[in-house]
């Protein structure tokens, strides 16, 4: 019996899982001749960066599933897939806890001004006097832009620190947290704005100069989503002008070469897009892709449809 044909545009990050994929399926790589093999491809494995275009989709008449290895889907033409009723899966359940941990790390480091405190010790200034008093976190309001699987995991952690939660998304969720449809109102009411929405044209520069001004000179922006969601020039201008208190960013516009104006600010925390970057989580993400393929070919419900 022949194996189902799978087009792998982006290999699974864990070699053992990639070997498992290749053992179970007839795997074709990005340089495959789609004129020859395209009519037999039933699944595409990709991610948000590598994506899948409408032109590629048109050359895959037997396509039944697109399995993304990343939470982001910005490069995948979901409209073209939707027109043919082709589902998309992503591994958000496998990475939600890891990204939420990183989000809280950034939130705490930004709110507690970790770089300035570290410099106070390393420079020898501590011997001349104590660091300025900081701000308590308890009782502050965390505004969450995007209360999906990851946003919900962040909210649960934030509650343990005594934060009040307010969220916005395209529509209300089945959630205990207050919903506000207007992002500007969320930014106005929040002390900290957490960005967790997908990237892509729909969310590009959603956090703009007006939103940053509403967050205010004491406010903190945390982004663990995609750099494109935040208008980065507007962010830098707001920091320059003192209209925003600080930023903690795991994602930026020009990764892996971020704008030099972000690099040496005491009120900016930067990490190298590490939201899901642990061996355990990347293995779980790879396993999620395989589980969705198994479910498809067994005629069972998909594990993590978008």
CA-to-CA distance for 254 and 210, rounded, in angstroms?
22
CA-to-CA distance for 142 and 258, rounded, in angstroms?
26
Residue that is written with structure tokens 């703009």 in the block: 208
Phi-psi region of 85 (alpha: psi -120 to 50; beta: other; left: phi over 0): left
DSSP string, 214-238: HH-TT-EEEE-S-GGGB-HHHHHHH
- Residue from 17, 28, 226, 282 carrying the catalytic annotation: 226
- Residue from 255, 280, 294, 300 carrying the catalytic annotation: 255
Rounded to 5°, the CA angle 23-25-26 comes to 110
Which residues does residue 12 pair with via DSSP β-bridges, in sequence order?
Answer: none
**138 an active-site residue?**
no
CA-to-CA distance for 88 and 46, rounded, in angstroms?
10
| Torsion (CA) 167, 171, 172, 174 in degrees, nearest 10 | -110
Q: Are the CB atoms for 68 and 9 separated by under 8 Å?
A: no
Number of CB atoms found within 10 A of residue 20's CB: 15
**255 an active-site residue?**
yes
**273 an active-site residue?**
yes
CA-to-CA distance for 44 and 120, rounded, in angstroms?
51
Residues designated catalytic: 226, 255, 273
């Amino acid at each position: 019996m022949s194996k189902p044909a799978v087009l792998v545009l982006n290999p699974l990050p864990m070699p053992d899982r990639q070997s498992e994929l290749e053992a179970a399926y007839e795997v074709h790589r990005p340089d495959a001749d789609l004129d020859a093999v395209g009519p037999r491809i039933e699944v595409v494995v990709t991610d948000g960066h590598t994506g899948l275009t409408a032109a590629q989709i048109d050359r895959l008449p037997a396509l039944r599933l697109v399995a993304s290895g990343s939470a982001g889907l910005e490069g995948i033409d979901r409209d073209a897939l939707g027109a043919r009723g082709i589902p998309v899966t992503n591994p958000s359940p496998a990475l939600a806890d890891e990204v939420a941990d990183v989000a809280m790390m950034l939130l705490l480091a930004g709110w507690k001004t970790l770089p300035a405190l570290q410099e106070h010790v390393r420079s020898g200034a501590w011997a001349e006097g104590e660091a300025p008093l900081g701000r308590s976190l308890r009782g502050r309001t965390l505004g969450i832009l995007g209360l999906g699987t990851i946003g919900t995991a962040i909210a649960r952690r934030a509650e343990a620190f005594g934060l009040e939660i307010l969220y916005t998304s395209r529509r209300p969720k089945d959630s205990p947290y207050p919903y506000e449809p207007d992002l500007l109102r969320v930014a106005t009411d929040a002390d900290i704005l957490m960005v967790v929405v997908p990237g892509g044209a729909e969310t590009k520069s959603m956090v703009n100069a007006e939103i940053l001004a509403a967050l205010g000179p004491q406010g903190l922006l945390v982004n663990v989503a995609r750099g494109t969601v935040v208008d980065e020039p507007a962010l830098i201008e707001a920091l320059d002008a003192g209209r925003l208190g600080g930023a903690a960013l795991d994602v930026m516009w020009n990764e892996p070469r971020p704008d030099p104006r972000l690099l040496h600010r005491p009120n900016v925390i930067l990490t190298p897009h590490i939201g899901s970057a642990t061996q355990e989580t990347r293995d779980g993400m790879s396993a999620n892709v395989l589980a969705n393929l198994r479910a498809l070919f067994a005629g069972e419900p998909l594990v993590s449809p978008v």
